[in-house]
A = this chain, B = another copy of it.
Amino acid sequence: MTKGITVKKAENFSEWYTQICGETGAQLVDLRYDVQGFLVHRPWSMQAFKKIYEFFEEEVEKDGHEPMLFPTIIPEEHLLKEKEHAGFTPDVYWVETAGTKKMDKRWALRPTGETQIYPIYHYWIRSYKDLPFKGYQSRITTFRNEMTTRPFLRGREFMFFETHNVYETHEQAKEQIKKDLEIMQKVIRDKLKIPFLFLQRPKWDVFKGANETFTSDSILPDGKRIQVSSTHDLGTNFSKAFDIKFTGRDSKEHYAYQTCFGPGIWRIFGTLIAIHGDDQGLMLPFCVAPLQIVIVPILFSKDEKQNNAILKECEKLLNELKDYKVSLDLSDRSAGFKFNEWEMKGVPIRIELGPRDLEKKQATVSLRTSKEKLNIKLTDLKKKISELAELNDKKLEDTANKYFKGNIKDASTLSEIKKIIETHKGFVRTPFCSVAMEGKTCADKLKAETGGVDVCGYLFEKQEKPTGNCPVCKKKATIVVYVAKSV
């Protein structure tokens, strides 16, 4: 089968993305399952997902979270218990028959974990000595009856990871927001090289049932904002609905404070593909690549002795590099075909070994992120790998950061915002009247007049001082917000 992407990412991102995920691309998913929005995850994507899950598990465990696993189904009555949160109900799938028997009470396929976990936290939390309690569920999936679906960006069943924490005080809950930000920085910024803004959402756009919502937002190559994580400050809303109380240091009963955090595993992977990939295929950070190094023997001649010598050297290399994810491609395809294949799959380091290399006791090394070929002494190769991996990753990081930073623009009037959104991509930073509920009228007007630009939120890490007026109502601005079109 001829592999390859037939469009340019810069010209038609949407089609490029579909192709890179599919059969003639990097074979990340199979869309032929016959049910819309339910994906088959192929080995190449699953190996990357395993790493991404491991990164998050490691970080949340370091922060004192313990693993748990709750059922896939939620009884309907639990789902309806928190009034605002019950807003999820119209989007869920219902199990209504068990075997051949219609059920008395129906179950939802879980749309998110709050209403399944908190009835049990009611039993687990008794005293301040039980707090803080930090639990997480990993490698699970969740379900929403979405109308439009795209691989890794929006699905009817998608990969999930969630933490659910309980504290004595609101201060402790707020401290967790910072820790969740740090986890996102460690995993998606430092390891996966995905730049993002950590924003506090305006009041009219918080999670159903939450007091405050904080998100990590990145920018896709088509300029659309994509949310890749959310942390919710639930206050005592859910602890009141689910009766999560503890005896405090004062011997009195108190409702507990809660937060929950969900890095969007699917969306993080989708964003990784989208941001780093090029017209030849995937580009992957070394730490997440299913195959980190591929060795390709170059066998031109019919000289059996020479070919055997090359193959022997390749086998030796394979053995030397076995601490990495390394493979020796001995298939009967041409070298050119192999190069294309492994470029499409995003293998960071390719090592070629041909007759001339053998003669010079060297290998020809290519990084996926660079056109340059390097000649490296065979005896030096092993100790050079970590340096080569860093070079590969540095290039990804620089390119991603340049794109990201170049697509956050300033504007102070509605017409400036419109102009930027039409000709540029990403976020526009602008003064705004208010992120409390009273600002919603301006946000709605902004959205209507710009063909769908949302007020995403304001920086959590630093308070930016606004100058001038709200571009919509012209009142004196109280805050600096980031607006963008969303996925």
Chain A interface (Cβ within 8 Å of chain B)? 30, 32-35, 38-43, 46-47, 49-50, 66-73, 75, 78, 90-100, 106-107, 109, 116, 119-120, 123-124, 129, 135, 139, 141, 143, 145, 157, 159, 331
Q: 10 other contacts beyond A34-B75, A94-B97, with CB at 8 A cut-off?
A: A32-B119, A33-B120, A34-B78, A38-B73, A39-B71, A40-B69, A41-B69, A43-B68, A46-B68, A129-B331
A35 near B67 (CB under 8 angstroms)? Answer: no
**Which residues of B lie under 8 Å from residue A143 when comparing CB positions?**
72
Chain A interface main SS type? mixed
User: B47, B71, B93: which contacts A98 (Cβ < 8 A)?
Assistant: B93
A120 near B47: Cβ-Cβ < 8 Å: no
Q: In the complex, what distance in Å separates the CA atom of A97 from the CA atom of B109? A: 11
Task: Decide if A97 touches B96 in the complex (CB within 8 Å).
Answer: yes
A304 to chain B, nearest CB (A): 23
Shortest distance from the beta carbon of A94 to any chain B beta carbon, whole Å: 4
Q: B95 to A99, Cβ gap below 8 A? A: no
A49 / chain B contacts, CB cutoff of 8 Å: 69
4 smallest CB-CB distances across A and B, nearest first, come from: A43-B66, A41-B69, A38-B71, A46-B67
**Given A30-B120, A68-B41 in contact, is the A98-B145 Cβ separation under 8 Å?**
yes
Can you list 12 A-B pairs with a CB-CB distance of less than 8 A? A32-B120, A33-B71, A33-B116, A34-B78, A40-B71, A46-B69, A72-B72, A72-B157, A93-B95, A93-B98, A94-B98, A129-B331
Given known contacts A92-B99, A94-B97, is B38 in contact with A67 (CB within 8 Å)?
A: no
* A75/B109 contact (C-beta < 8 A), A40-B70, A93-B98 known: no
In the bound complex, residues from chain B placing their C-beta under 8 Å from that of A32 are 119-120, 123
Contact A43 B71 (CB under 8 A): no
| Alpha-carbon distance between A94 and B73 when the two chains are bound, in angstroms | 12
A32 to B, closest residue via Cβ: B123
Q: What residues of B have a CB within 8 angstroms of the CB of A78 in the complex?
A: 34
Chain B residues positioned under 8 Å from A72 (CB to CB): 72, 109, 141, 143, 157
Could you say which residues of chain B place their CB within 8 Å of the CB of A141? 72
Residue among A38, A69, A139 facing the most chain B CB atoms (10 A cut-off): A69
How far, in angstroms, from A47 to B41 measured CA to CA in the complex?
25
| Complex Cα spacing A30 to B119, Å | 11
Q: How far does the alpha carbon of A109 sit from the alpha carbon of B99 in the complex, in Å?
A: 11
Q: How far is the CA of A157 from the CA of B72 in the complex (A)?
A: 8
A298 to chain B, nearest CB (A): 21
Q: Which chain B residue lies CB-closest to A142? A: B72
A82 to B465, CA, bound (A): 67
Q: Contact between A34 and B73 (Cβ–Cβ < 8 Å)?
A: no
Instruction: Assess whether A40 is in contact with B99, with CB atoms less than 8 Å apart.
Output: no
Measured CA separation A39–B71 after assembly (Å): 6
Q: Which residues of B contact A43 (CB under 8 A)?
A: 66-68, 135
A40–B67 contact, CB under 8 A? no
What is the chain B residue whose CB lies nearest that of A93?
B95
Q: Which of B34, B95, B120, B129 contacts A40 (CB 8 A)?
A: B120
- Min CB–CB distance A344 → chain B (angstroms): 17
**Interface pair A107/B35, CB less than 8 Å apart:** yes
Quote the shortest CB–CB distance from A408 to chain B (angstroms). Answer: 35
For A70, the chain B residues whose CB sits under 8 A away are 33, 40-41
Q: Quick one: closest B residue to A23, CB to CB?
A: B123
- Chain B residues lying within 8 Å of A106, measured Cβ to Cβ, are 97
Q: How far is A288 from B33 in the complex, measured between Cα atoms in Å?
A: 37
Decide: A66 near B46, CB < 8 A? Known: A40-B71, A71-B39, A157-B72: yes
Q: In the complex, what distance in Å separates the CA atom of A107 from the CA atom of B109?
A: 12
